[in-house]
Chains A and B, each alone.
Chain A
Amino acid sequence: MQLKNILNLVLIFSSSLLLKADDLSELRGQKLYETICFSCHGNKLEGATGPNLKDYEWLHGSSKSDIIKSITNGFPEKGMLAFGALYKQEQINDLVNFILSRQQGLRNVEYKIFHDIQLNDKFEWDKHKADKQRSLKPPHFNPNLPEVNQFAISFKGQLLIPKHLAGDFILSGIRKQYRGIALYIDGDKIPFPTNKDRAIKIPLNLRAGTHDIRLEYIKDFKSTVFFLDLVGKETIPLTSESYRRSITSSHIPKAENAFLINRKRITAAPPGSIIVNHMDKISYAIDPKTSDIKAMWLGKSLDIGPNIYARGQHFAQPIGTHLFSAEQSINLFINGKAAELKYIGYSDKPLPKFIFKSSEGEISLQSKIENNALKLSYSIKSNHALDINLKIPQELNTKLSKGKTKNGLFTPESPQDFFISIPIKELK
């Protein structure tokens, strides 16, 4: 065996040892991450209360020493402890190694715009001087950047593939134009379908590490809709439309110590229903057309992410355990009939209060938390005596104001003011 080969062997051997040491540190970092950091930064580092830790954006610096500083000193005023007081230097080092090993997606992308270039122009990218050249932030390819009608645009940058995602991907997307788009990874042209098919689905194998990536785009079709994702164990967005769609994950408004009123689409209640949450503990959905309480659940209010990203095609999701089934509801009866009410509106001060009118008078429904229960108080103002009943789902655990209950129909002793109270603790 030649000396060179031996040297090579030694090199390979020692670098694999080195890798092992790194791997172990990352593994220890991951363990630590999964004990505490995940609760704010997400299981996959995708971010929640705390920011995403695997993408292009760093609020406090992206270098190893910056990240060590972020973790050591924390951001106590924003809820993150100074972990320097809790962990040893090596542990913080492990955490940083873990975070760095998970970096993924596009970085350092530059774009160039060439005005008035048509698809049929036999355009040579290298020979033209760009009309505009900048670095791209966020770094996702965005063919909507040019402000002129006709153009060519190129993007050039790096693609990070972390070890745990390396291997098979599907390059998946939607394009409006089938000509004029060319994508190169490490200098190889990716074979997009040449027919008019709008969907792109191309299997790719990508090793761990940094890849050169380049996109060339000459506008052909009138609108520049362009989705492109690398779909593997996780999805890595490549275009700005894909990126905007990827942040659809979740968006949960918090009531904290107070209450929250939100009007969003949910499947459990009719269109136009209003959702009230108290203290991130219990929610109900009221249909303002009838005053019926159509749904009630324990826990946080809603994930409105599906409703407020992209076109909002999807329903917001109640979070938590429903307290009665979908067919059930709490209904008010006046003189033996389902109340026919005109919805006046609601007040949110000091408490949520829904106001209705009927030919019989004015009716209001107010909610609050009292003795760790949701208390729904009805108040009915009328000039004459009314026969009032409340139909309550039998599966709902309640405490009621004075009155009689028969077959799920509650008759309050005092029809002007009565309440129903749903304990929060006694989960079913």
Chain B
Amino acid sequence: MQKFIFLGLIILTQFLLANPKGYSIETITTPKDVYFHIAGLDIDKQGRVYCATRYGDVWILDKGKWIQFAKGLQEPCGLVIDDDGSVVVTQKPEMTRLVDSDQDGVADLYLNLSHEWGFHNNYHEFNFGGIKDKQGNFIGSLNLAAGPKVPGLKLSAMSTEGGYRGWAYKVSPEGKFTPIASGLRSPAGLGKNPQGELFFTDNQGDYLASSTLNQLEPGKFYGHPISLLDKPEYNMTTLKNMDDQEFDKMRTLPIVWIPQEEIANSPGNPEWNATKGKFGPFENQFFIGDQSRSNIFRVSLQKVAGRYQGAVIDFMSGFQCGNIRLKFDLEGNLWAGQTSRGWASRGSRPYGLQKVVWDQKTIPFEILDVKLQKESFKIYFTQKINPQDAKKIKISRWWYEYSRMYGAPKSELEELTPQAIKISADGMSMTISCALMKERVYCFDFSELNNDKLANKKAYYTIINLIE
């Protein structure tokens, strides 16, 4: 009887959370009495799951058994398994290669790949990683410092004492350190697509109105100005004397804005779905977890006028803790490494590991994708949309102003009336003509649909460029 009630409650919450049908969350037991705040996650070709914990360990889950592979690290926030079986972790002060030289299943060499950046003992100076590029370089991103008494250059909330804080960098297999791009704030997640292009998410805060997904490209500046301290043409005084409009002109806009409180507040790594259908209909999209709202959302990309922009759609909520790391395993299950320490997250657990499993048959009713066309948007669904329902769409648009304020509300928010709605012959997509404008986030809202089958009812498309 008790079991029955418990199950009933689970179904109830799943229903309330409007999660996609056919997907369920499984919880993996972590080692007893071990602080298991996961901030690095990778899975090898044998299906072994590697977790780096903020406590400083690396653990491997091998056929249901946990093995401690390494320990004593300084808050590693990224982990990637290299081709030779060694493991590269980004500790705060060092990118380290962990080698099991005597093949007993436990690392015995902790080799320094690079420590060429500035680390000044500030708790916020995270070093994110977990990605290897096509040329074999290991990619990292260096968080800015924070705190009430933090020294260094501070124009708003965050601070730097230099040494490429607020930069992304690469380290060659031989250990050569090269800074790549600047203007990052709290870039907690790195990712790549099958072509090997690199991406990062950044967390809302000063100089960042809402969280973002960005393409990581050499030489670019993404908006947080204090990172410019490491460029020879600037110094403390010049940067303090510049105004925000000047920085605004220099910055590269994101691929998508991720609306605060609606989709995510603290996004983790973008994980590309190349599971060949093993994870359902959402192939070739990024899945991203949120550390604060404990959900997972999707981003689909579209290249317009030579650069990416795209759509954000929520996917699943109700995890036990904040999702900071996602990784697909070989069977196409999506694993989520979780932590809430220091930054509260929804859910009942302080840390943990869960995975999302698709039942391999149910196609949930979801907004699959949104693409910009020359004079309209095309919205794709995973099932047929009822033409009557389609008319109930609401459209709004807004933008996010650049400023040193800690997060910013939507600006120039307005409702739009669709000029024309056309359902495709197969009923799987609709074309919506409406006033188009660049540098706007468009929200397509199906909340009025009166159809509970559609689990996530909103899609957000960021227009950076229009199609000429």
For the complex formed, measure the closest distance between the CB of A203 and the CB atoms of chain B, giving whole angstroms: 26
* Structural contact, B74 and A264, CB atoms closer than 8 A: yes
> Chain A contacts of B342 at CB under 8 A?
310-312
In the complex, what residue of chain A is closest to B104 when comparing beta carbons?
A: A349
Stretch in B58-66, B112-120, B329-337, B444-452 with 4+ CB within 8 Å of A: B112-120
Assess whether A372 is interfacial by the CB under 8 Å rule: no
* Structural contact, B54 and A144, CB atoms closer than 8 A: no
With A144-B345, A308-B35, A343-B115 known as contacts, the answer to whether A263 contacts B93 (CB < 8 A) is yes
Cα distance A12–B121 in the bound complex, in angstroms? 61
Assess whether A333 is interfacial by the CB under 8 Å rule: no
In the complex, what residue of chain A is closest to B125 when comparing beta carbons?
A: A271
- Name A302-324 residues within 8 Å CB distance of B: 308-313, 315
> Chain B contacts of A308 at CB under 8 A?
35, 54-56
* Structural contact, A271 and B121, CB atoms closer than 8 A: yes
* Structural contact, B344 and A144, CB atoms closer than 8 A: yes
Assess whether B317 is interfacial by the CB under 8 Å rule: yes
In the complex, what residue of chain A is closest to B93 when comparing beta carbons?
A: A272
> Chain B contacts of A348 at CB under 8 A?
108, 110
For the complex formed, measure the closest distance between the CB of B284 and the CB atoms of chain A, giving whole angstroms: 29
For the complex formed, measure the closest distance between the CB of B266 and the CB atoms of chain A, giving whole angstroms: 10
> Chain B contacts of A202 at CB under 8 A?
none
For the complex formed, measure the closest distance between the CB of A107 and the CB atoms of chain B, giving whole angstroms: 18
- Name A125-145 residues within 8 Å CB distance of B: 131-132, 142, 144-145
Stretch in B231-239, B346-354, B434-442 with 4+ CB within 8 Å of A: B346-354
* Structural contact, A312 and B109, CB atoms closer than 8 A: no
In the complex, what residue of chain B is closest to A131 when comparing beta carbons?
A: B16
- Name A156-214 residues within 8 Å CB distance of B: none
> Chain A contacts of B292 at CB under 8 A?
223
B344 CB contact (under 8 Å) in A147, A225, A262, A265: A225
Would you give the 0/1 interface string for A241-277, flagging 1 where the beta carbon is closer than 8 Å to chain B?
A: 1001000000000000000111111000001101000
* Structural contact, A288 and B346, CB atoms closer than 8 A: no
Assess whether A38 is interfacial by the CB under 8 Å rule: no
For the complex formed, measure the closest distance between the CB of B423 and the CB atoms of chain A, giving whole angstroms: 30
> Chain B contacts of A271 at CB under 8 A?
93, 119-121
* Structural contact, B56 and A263, CB atoms closer than 8 A: yes
> Chain B contacts of A313 at CB under 8 A?
123, 147
In the complex, what residue of chain B is closest to A275 when comparing beta carbons?
A: B72
* Structural contact, A309 and B318, CB atoms closer than 8 A: no
For the complex formed, measure the closest distance between the CB of B198 and the CB atoms of chain A, giving whole angstroms: 26
> Chain B contacts of A345 at CB under 8 A?
96-97, 109-112
For the complex formed, measure the closest distance between the CB of A147 and the CB atoms of chain B, giving whole angstroms: 5
The count of residues in chain A whose C-beta lies closer than 8 Å to any C-beta of chain B is: 41
For the complex formed, measure the closest distance between the CB of B6 and the CB atoms of chain A, giving whole angstroms: 11
In the complex, what residue of chain A is closest to B75 when comparing beta carbons?
A: A312
* Structural contact, A288 and B55, CB atoms closer than 8 A: no
* Structural contact, B108 and A309, CB atoms closer than 8 A: no
* Structural contact, A222 and B261, CB atoms closer than 8 A: yes
B343 CB contact (under 8 Å) in A261, A289, A311: A311
Assess whether A56 is interfacial by the CB under 8 Å rule: no
- Name B89-142 residues within 8 Å CB distance of A: 91-94, 96-97, 101-102, 108-112, 115, 119-121, 123-124
* Structural contact, B110 and A144, CB atoms closer than 8 A: no
Cα distance A263–B71 in the bound complex, in angstroms? 9
Cα distance A341–B16 in the bound complex, in angstroms? 60
Cα distance A348–B261 in the bound complex, in angstroms? 46
With A223-B292, A263-B74, A310-B342 known as contacts, the answer to whether A148 contacts B16 (CB < 8 A) is yes
* Structural contact, B109 and A347, CB atoms closer than 8 A: yes
Assess whether A65 is interfacial by the CB under 8 Å rule: no
* Structural contact, A262 and B343, CB atoms closer than 8 A: no
Cα distance A313–B123 in the bound complex, in angstroms? 5
Cα distance A313–B73 in the bound complex, in angstroms? 17
* Structural contact, A147 and B318, CB atoms closer than 8 A: yes
Assess whether A224 is interfacial by the CB under 8 Å rule: yes
> Chain B contacts of A142 at CB under 8 A?
348
Give the interface SS of chain A, mostly helix, strand, loop or mixed: loop
Cα distance A142–B346 in the bound complex, in angstroms? 9
- Most B Cβ at <10 Å: residue of A149, A264, A271: A271
> Chain B contacts of A69 at CB under 8 A?
none
Cα distance A222–B409 in the bound complex, in angstroms? 12
Cα distance A260–B73 in the bound complex, in angstroms? 11
For the complex formed, measure the closest distance between the CB of A171 and the CB atoms of chain B, giving whole angstroms: 20
Assess whether B265 is interfacial by the CB under 8 Å rule: yes
Cα distance A132–B260 in the bound complex, in angstroms? 26
Cα distance A147–B55 in the bound complex, in angstroms? 27
> Chain B contacts of A232 at CB under 8 A?
none
For the complex formed, measure the closest distance between the CB of A65 and the CB atoms of chain B, giving whole angstroms: 25
Assess whether A21 is interfacial by the CB under 8 Å rule: no
- Most A Cβ at <10 Å: residue of B71, B72, B260, B292: B72
Cα distance A105–B54 in the bound complex, in angstroms? 29
In the complex, what residue of chain A is closest to B53 when comparing beta carbons?
A: A308
A347 CB contact (under 8 Å) in B55, B108, B345: B108
Assess whether B466 is interfacial by the CB under 8 Å rule: no
Assess whether A381 is interfacial by the CB under 8 Å rule: no
Cα distance A115–B318 in the bound complex, in angstroms? 14
A272 CB contact (under 8 Å) in B13, B55, B119, B346: B119
Assess whether A11 is interfacial by the CB under 8 Å rule: no
* Structural contact, A144 and B108, CB atoms closer than 8 A: no
* Structural contact, A344 and B112, CB atoms closer than 8 A: yes
* Structural contact, B72 and A310, CB atoms closer than 8 A: no
Cα distance A131–B115 in the bound complex, in angstroms? 51
- Name B16-65 residues within 8 Å CB distance of A: 16-17, 35, 54-56
In the complex, what residue of chain A is closest to B342 when comparing beta carbons?
A: A311
In the complex, what residue of chain A is closest to B321 when comparing beta carbons?
A: A144
Assess whether B341 is interfacial by the CB under 8 Å rule: yes
Assess whether B294 is interfacial by the CB under 8 Å rule: yes
* Structural contact, A262 and B72, CB atoms closer than 8 A: yes
Assess whether A393 is interfacial by the CB under 8 Å rule: no
> Chain A contacts of B260 at CB under 8 A?
222
- Most B Cβ at <10 Å: residue of A147, A241, A288, A347: A147
B346 CB contact (under 8 Å) in A146, A265, A310, A315: A146
B17 CB contact (under 8 Å) in A148, A263, A315: A148
> Chain B contacts of A225 at CB under 8 A?
344
- The 5 lowest CB-CB distance pairs between A and B, nearest first, are A272-B93, A311-B342, A345-B111, A263-B74, A349-B108
Known: A147-B318, A271-B120. 11 other contacts (CB 8 A): A132-B9, A145-B347, A147-B294, A222-B265, A224-B344, A261-B71, A263-B91, A272-B93, A311-B341, A343-B115, A347-B110
